[in-house]
């Protein structure tokens, strides 16, 4: 488990839309989860009762006259009428809340931690909202730093855990200079550092279920946007006019899909409708931010469902355009990606390590294969064709999603090894076996076979080779030599088009 979270620490930044990729950011997963065992036990006791009939509990709070979205002030749900308890929160989060409170500021937990707590899920991290400005927060906590320019927030660090503190965002008006709030001509929010009241803050949040505030003053939950009702009906509903909110920040479309997959919620029709049409707005988002979002989409244990929803709404094509095109002509491609995501999901649930390099290798393999085939048609030999194809696909993909070198290099190794794994003659098998990326490449080969891209057989050979003793390995090598001919070739299920013959030359 430790290994997984150390790994995720390094690669899984928090909310990329607001912060740059930083090591500290993801660290919070580790600690949050190390508290898990005991917190989990305490947490689920209280929830079991609530979840058996959440509707009944919540209905007692709201009369039938309460229409969703039809109110202005918050609904305040006192402590004895909701199941969220301080016992579910990390000590660091509580420390931050109490210190702000004792210094005379308002302090609330908000966002995913309250939403997930209400659903009986373990919060992934803790976000605090306050009326203290970033500078005031900074003064209260020696262990803090202000980050972000577009969205200034404070990270308060406790060992490996980071609590994110945001000042209530206000509504924009013309008095604010560009250095405080800025919007592009298309409505994209470029900067948002206008401070406001909690009400204003609530309506600037994305979904109603993300605008529930837990007050440290009296442990009540403040619901500004009918979020409780949407928790009950398992609905993701954007606050405000969906088209405007997506235009302000197109990443909200990805967040809708991510939460729908993670929570098993449905997206409210009005929030769902504009997505297909507005999906191209994602092309405006900086590639670094999209990299963070893609990790959150595919590396949170719900990758398969997320992938299907992204495809359904036309969002996948905005993230991986060339893969989307290649999938149309290569029926195995979708299956390969689903197999890769299913295996990632399983590993995450089993708390085993996962790497974005493997996932990106699967996500981009179909276009690499397509380009390689085209280059081979032009008489380039397979190895340089693969290398050139890899380069071209990566270059095009980087225009959309920046993949750091520490992931793109192993990804390319995994691809290169696909061409070497069939070669088992002499010392080659052992050399392949000793390659640092062998294991990932072997797993990848199994996926290619499972998806029907290539005939099965080679994967089984490598499985036996890894498990066999010296004698067995020798036998396998002889068999490989006899089966495969020079170098040993992988058998494609659908043979590539025949290579164009160059016209016979004079010699």
Task: Please give the positions annotated as active site.
Answer: 125, 127, 206
Q: Which range in 36-44, 202-210, 342-350, 405-413 contacts ligand ATP by CB under 6 A?
A: 202-210
Contact 133, 4 (CB under 8 A): no
In the bound state with ligand ATP, the residue whose beta carbon lies nearer, of 210 and 220, is 210
Phi, psi of 75 (to 5 degrees): -85, 130
Closest C-alpha to 319, from 376, 381, 401, 237: 401
| Contact partner, 293, from Mg ion, ligand ATP, none, Cβ < 5-8 Å per class | none
Tell me the per-residue interface mask from 66 to 105 with Mg ion, x by CB under 5 A, - otherwise. Answer: ----------------------------------------
Query: CA 121, CA 115: separation in Å to the nearest integer?
Result: 9
HEC profile of 385-416: HHHHHHHHHHHHHHCCCCCCHHHHHHHHHHHH
Per CB under 6 A, 242 contacts ligand ATP: no
- The answer to the question of residue 230 lying near ligand ATP (CB under 6 A) is no
Distance CA 203, CA 221 (A): 16
Which residue of 28, 82, 191, 205 would you call a contact of ligand ATP, by CB under 6 A? 205
Q: Which of 111, 227, 410, 422 binds ligand ATP (CB under 6 A)?
A: 111
216 contacts which partner out of Mg ion, ligand ATP, none, CB within 5 to 8 A by kind? none
Tell me the two tokens of residue 299: 């590396």
Does residue 124 belong to the site contacting ligand ATP (CB under 6 A)? yes
Of the pair 115, 339, the CB lying nearest ligand ATP is at 115
79 binds ligand ATP (CB under 6 A): no
Query: Shortest gap between Cβ of 462 and ligand ATP (angstroms)?
Result: 38
Report the distance separating Cα 9 and Cα 32, nearest Å: 12
Q: Which does 376 bind (CB under 5 to 8 A by kind): ligand ATP, Mg ion, none?
A: none
Which part of the chain contacts ligand ATP (CB under 6 A), choosing from 73-81, 203-211, 319-327, 397-405? 203-211
Q: Which of 179, 199, 196, 189 is nearest to 133 (CA)?
A: 196
Least separation in angstroms between CB 477 and ligand ATP: 49
Cβ distance to ligand ATP smaller for residue 301 or 457? 301
Among 109, 181, 216, 251, binds ligand ATP (CB under 6 A): 251
Q: Which residues contact 458 (CB under 8 A, 6 or more apart)?
A: 421, 422, 445, 449, 490
Residue in 25, 26, 39, 125 binding ligand ATP, rule: CB under 6 A = 125
Contact window for ligand ATP (CB under 6 A) among 58-66, 120-128, 392-400, 484-492: 120-128
How far, in Å, CA of 150 to CA of 173, rounded?
A: 17
Catalogue the long-range contacts made by 338-342 (C-beta closer than 8 Å, 24 or more residues apart). 338/304, 338/307, 338/451, 339/447, 339/450, 339/451, 340/447, 341/298, 341/303, 341/304, 341/306, 341/307, 342/303, 342/304
Question: What's the closest the beta carbon of residue 111 comes to ligand ATP, in angstroms?
Answer: 3
- Binders of Mg ion among residues 119 to 138 (CB under 5 A) are 125
Closest approach, Cβ 298 to Mg ion, in A, equals: 18
Residue 356 found at the interface with Mg ion (CB under 5 A): no
Q: Which is nearer to ligand ATP, 164 or 324 (CB)?
A: 164
In sequence order, which residues have a C-beta less than 8 Å from that of residue 507 and are 6 or more positions away? none
Contact between 112 and Mg ion by CB under 5 A: the answer reads: yes
User: Minimum CB separation from Mg ion for residue 165, in Å?
Assistant: 12
13 touches Mg ion by CB under 5 A: no
206, interface contact from Mg ion, ligand ATP, none, CB < 5-8 Å by kind = ligand ATP
Q: Is residue 271 at the binding interface for ligand ATP, with CB under 6 A as the rule?
A: no
- CA distances 308 to 78, 261, 317, 334, 356, Å, are 39, 9, 12, 10, 19
| Residue, CB closest to ligand ATP | 112
CB 320 within 8 A of CB 400: yes
Q: Which residue is nearest to Mg ion (CB)?
A: 112
Q: Among all chains, which residue has been given the structure tokens 């020079």?
A: 486
Q: Does 249 bind ligand ATP (CB under 6 A)?
A: yes
CB 449 within 8 A of CB 470: no
Which region, judged by CB under 5 A, interacts with Mg ion, from 66-74, 108-116, 251-259, 263-271? 108-116
**Given candidates 131, 161, 206, 292, which one binds ligand ATP under the rule CB under 6 A?**
206
Which of Mg ion, ligand ATP, none does 205 bind, CB closer than 5 to 8 A by kind? ligand ATP
Report the residue number, 112 or 227, with the smaller CB distance to Mg ion: 112
Helix (H, G, I), strand (E, B) or coil at 166: strand
Can residue 88 be called a binding residue for ligand ATP (CB under 6 A)? no
**What sign results for the dihedral spanned by CA atoms 172, 271, 258, 33?**
positive
CB atoms within 10 A of CB 139: 12
Return the beta strands (E) in 89-160 as ranges.
Answer: 107-110, 127-130, 144-147, 153-158
Backbone φ and ψ for 466, nearest 5 degrees, come out as -70, -35
Distances (CA, A) of 380 to 374, 383, 418: 9, 8, 17
Among Mg ion, ligand ATP, none, residue 75 binds (CB under 5-8 Å by kind): none
| Residue 17 contacts ligand ATP per CB under 6 A | yes
Adjacent-strand bridge partners of 191 = 182
- Is 54 a binder of Mg ion (CB under 5 A)? no
Interface ranges with Mg ion (CB under 5 A)? 111-112, 125
Under the rule (CB under 6 A), what is the footprint of ligand ATP? 15, 17, 111-112, 124-125, 127, 205-206, 210-211, 249, 251-252
């Amino acid at each position: 488990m430790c290994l997984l979270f150390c790994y995720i620490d390094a690669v899984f930044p928090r909310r990329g839309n607001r912060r740059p990729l930083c090591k500290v950011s993801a660290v919070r997963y580790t600690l949050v989860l190390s508290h898990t065992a005991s917190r989990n036990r305490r947490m689920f006791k209280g929830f079991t009762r609530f979840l058996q009939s959440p509707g009944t509990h919540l209905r007692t709070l709201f009369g039938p006259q309460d229409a969703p979205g039809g109110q202005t002030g918050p609904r305040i749900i006192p402590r004895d009428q909701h199941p969220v308890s301080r016992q579910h929160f990390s000590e660091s989060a509580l420390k931050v809340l109490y210190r702000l409170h004792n210094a005379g500021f308002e302090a609330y937990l908000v966002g995913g931690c309250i939403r997930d707590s209400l659903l009986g899920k373990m919060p992934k991290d803790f976000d605090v909202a306050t009326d203290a400005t970033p500078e005031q927060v900074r003064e209260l906590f020696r262990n803090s730093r202000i980050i972000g320019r577009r969205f200034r927030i404070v990270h308060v660090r406790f060992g490996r855990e980071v609590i994110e503190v945001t000042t209530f965002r206000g509504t924009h008006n013309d008095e604010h200079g560009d250095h405080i709030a800025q919007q592009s001509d298309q409505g994209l929010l470029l900067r948002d550092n206008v401070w406001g009241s909690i009400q204003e803050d609530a309506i600037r949040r994305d979904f109603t279920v993300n605008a529930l505030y837990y007050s440290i003053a009296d442990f009540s939950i403040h619901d500004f946007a009918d979020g409780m009702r949407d928790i009950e009906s398992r609905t993701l509903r954007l606050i405000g006019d969906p088209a405007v909110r997506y235009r302000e920040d197109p990443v909200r479309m990805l967040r809708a899909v991510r939460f729908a997959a993670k929570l098993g919620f449905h997206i409210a029709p009005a929030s769902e409708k504009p997505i297909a049409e507005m999906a191209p707005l994602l092309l405006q988002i900086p590639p670094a931010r999209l990299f963070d979002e893609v990790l959150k989409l595919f590396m949170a244990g719900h990758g398969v469902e997320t992938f299907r929803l992204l495809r359904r709404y036309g969002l996948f094509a905005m993230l991986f355009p060339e893969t989307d095109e290649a999938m149309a002509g290569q029926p195995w491609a979708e299956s390969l990606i689903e197999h890769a995501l299913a295996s990632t999901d399983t590993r995450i649930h089993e708390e085993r390590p996962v790497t974005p390099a493997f996932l990106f290798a699967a996500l981009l393999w179909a276009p690499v294969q397509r380009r390689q085939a085209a280059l081979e048609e032009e008489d380039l030999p397979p190895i340089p064709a693969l290398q050139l194809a890899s380069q071209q696909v990566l270059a095009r993909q980087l225009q959309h999603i920046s993949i750091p070198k520490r992931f793109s290099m192993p990804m390319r190794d995994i691809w290169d090894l696909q061409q070497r794994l069939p070669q088992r003659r002499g010392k080659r098998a052992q050399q392949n076996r000793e390659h640092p990326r062998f294991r990932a490449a072997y797993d990848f080969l199994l996926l290619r076979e499972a998806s029907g891209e290539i005939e099965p057989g080679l994967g089984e050979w490598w499985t036996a080779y890894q498990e066999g003793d010296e004698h067995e390995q020798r036998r396998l090598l002889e068999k490989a030599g006899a089966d495969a001919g020079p170098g040993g070739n992988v058998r494609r299920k659908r043979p590539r088009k025949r290579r164009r013959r160059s016209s016979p030359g004079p010699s």
